[in-house]
């Protein structure tokens, strides 16, 4: 894994990765918006087939690349120069060029956040090709956090490839020693699986989704079993604070719960950027 050194240094510098992050953030906006709709469409088709009834979905199936993005208000097809990360939103003054309907600030914020995050990954891991793996890990966590926040779903089509990628990267010697990654995945899955069943058997309720097990398993595969407890601690504390704050401000709709995935993902990102030694120091283990 070596290519032209100066070009490599420039592309993998925090600035290079920050620019890459803006573009990836733009793509993540599409994933976060469409993946839940694609899953819903797929579930409807499967249920209809199972029940032997007619599927009322019309038109071509939705995918990440088709149809082209449109303004949800007027259907105006978004042209390439209206789709430049950050710049277009500012140039359009946060409004659709055709109907002037406001465009949510969330789109540029996801782009900016992903840009800053990948720049931080570049700063943390240096200009090595394996830094791109960590960029992929971080970007997938952003998508999962946003989808879970919106829909309380953590799609298998993101968590499972993330888990496999972590195990394969460790096997190829690019990230962690393989046993650290493998036991991280196993313990990550089993720890939340046991909390889930303990909670369910004692209260009869489901305290978290099954996607949370797979997400923590994936983070174990990337960050190692030693980081599971710090990740869980961080996610629980921040999750509890946000949950209480939302209850107090009555922002939480009746019968809905605060998803755990965004806090797991956030905690994982902090652990990745801080590094194992520093994190173990925080919790007094070294
Ligand atoms: Zn419009």
122-129 LR contacts (CB < 8 Å, sep 24+): 122/12, 122/13, 122/14, 122/16, 122/17, 122/18, 123/14, 124/272, 124/273, 124/275, 126/12, 127/8, 127/9, 127/12, 127/13, 128/12, 129/1, 129/2, 129/3, 129/8, 129/12
Query: Do 279 and 155 fall within a single domain?
Result: yes
Interval between CA 78 and ligand 1 midpoint (Å): 9
Interval between CA 100 and ligand 1 midpoint (Å): 6
Residue 283 has pLDDT above 90, yes or no: no
Position 249 scores a pLDDT of 81
Interval between CA 73 and ligand 1 midpoint (Å): 5
Domain boundary among 105, 128, 151: 128
Q: In whole angstroms, what is the distance from residue 250 CA to residue 248 CA?
A: 5
Interval between CA 139 and ligand 1 midpoint (Å): 29
Query: Do 141 and 122 fall within a single domain?
Result: no
Query: Do 242 and 228 fall within a single domain?
Result: yes
Query: Do 84 and 155 fall within a single domain?
Result: no
Average confidence (pLDDT) over 161-190: 97
Domain boundary among 65, 97, 128: 128
pLDDT digits (tens, 9 = 90+) for 209-219: 889 999 999 99
- Please indicate whether residue 12 or residue 5 has the higher confidence score (pLDDT): 12
Domain boundary among 97, 128, 159: 128
Interval between CA 95 and ligand 1 midpoint (Å): 8
Query: Do 164 and 280 fall within a single domain?
Result: yes
Residues in CB range of 75: below 8 A, 6 or more apart: none
Structural domain of residue 193, as residue ranges? 130-286
Query: Do 163 and 229 fall within a single domain?
Result: yes
Interval between CA 229 and ligand 1 midpoint (Å): 47
Position 68 scores a pLDDT of 86
Residues in CB range of 69: below 8 A, 6 or more apart: 30, 77, 78, 83
Query: Do 124 and 135 fall within a single domain?
Result: no
**What total number of domains does the chain contain?**
2
Query: Do 45 and 108 fall within a single domain?
Result: yes
Cis omega (within 30 of 0) on the bond before 243? no
Interval between CA 27 and ligand 1 midpoint (Å): 20
Query: Do 88 and 163 fall within a single domain?
Result: no
Position 106 scores a pLDDT of 94
Query: Do 122 and 166 fall within a single domain?
Result: no
**Tokens 């305290």 correspond to what residue?**
207
Query: Do 190 and 221 fall within a single domain?
Result: yes
pLDDT digits (tens, 9 = 90+) for 26-81: 999 999 999 999 999 999 989 988 998 888 776 677 888 888 888 989 989 998 89
Interval between CA 59 and ligand 1 midpoint (Å): 22
Contact 36, 150 (CB under 8 A): yes
Query: Do 91 and 138 fall within a single domain?
Result: no
Interval between CA 243 and ligand 1 midpoint (Å): 35
Neighbours of ion ligand 1 (CB under 5 A): 71, 73-74, 76, 96, 98-99, 101
Interval between CA 161 and ligand 1 midpoint (Å): 36
Range scoring the smallest mean pLDDT among 4-8, 142-146, 259-263? 4-8
pLDDT digits (tens, 9 = 90+) for 188-207: 999 999 999 998 999 888 87
Interval between CA 147 and ligand 1 midpoint (Å): 24
């Amino acid at each position: 894994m070596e290519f032209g050194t100066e070009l490599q240094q420039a592309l993998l510098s925090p600035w290079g990765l920050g620019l890459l992050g803006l573009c990836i953030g733009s793509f993540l906006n599409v994933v976060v918006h469409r993946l839940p709709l694609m899953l819903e469409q797929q579930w409807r088709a499967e249920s209809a087939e199972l029940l032997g009834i007619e599927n009322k979905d019309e038109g071509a199936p939705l995918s990440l690349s088709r149809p082209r993005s449109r303004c949800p208000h007027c259907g105006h097809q978004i042209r390439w120069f209206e789709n430049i990360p950050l710049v277009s939103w500012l140039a359009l003054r946060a409004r659709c060029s055709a109907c002037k309907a406001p465009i949510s600030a969330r789109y540029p914020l996801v782009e900016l956040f992903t840009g800053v995050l990948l720049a931080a990954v570049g700063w943390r891991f240096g200009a090595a090709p394996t830094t791109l793996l960590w960029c992929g890990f971080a970007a997938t966590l952003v998508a999962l956090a946003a989808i879970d926040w919106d829909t309380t779903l953590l799609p298998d089509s993101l968590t499972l490839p993330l888990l496999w990628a972590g195990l394969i990267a460790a096997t190829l010697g690019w990230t962690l020693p393989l046993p650290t990654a493998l036991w991280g995945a196993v313990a990550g899955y089993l720890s939340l699986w046991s909390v889930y069943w303990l909670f369910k058997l004692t209260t009869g309720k489901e305290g978290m989704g099954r996607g949370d097990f797979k997400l923590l398993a994936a983070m174990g595969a990337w960050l190692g079993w030693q980081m599971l407890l710090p990740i869980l601690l961080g996610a629980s504390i921040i999750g509890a604070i946000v949950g209480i704050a939302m209850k107090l401000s009555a922002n939480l709709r009746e019968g809905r719960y605060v998803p755990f995935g965004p806090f797991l993902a956030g905690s994982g990102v902090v652990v990745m950027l801080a590094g194992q030694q520093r994190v173990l120091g925080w919790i007094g283990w070294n």
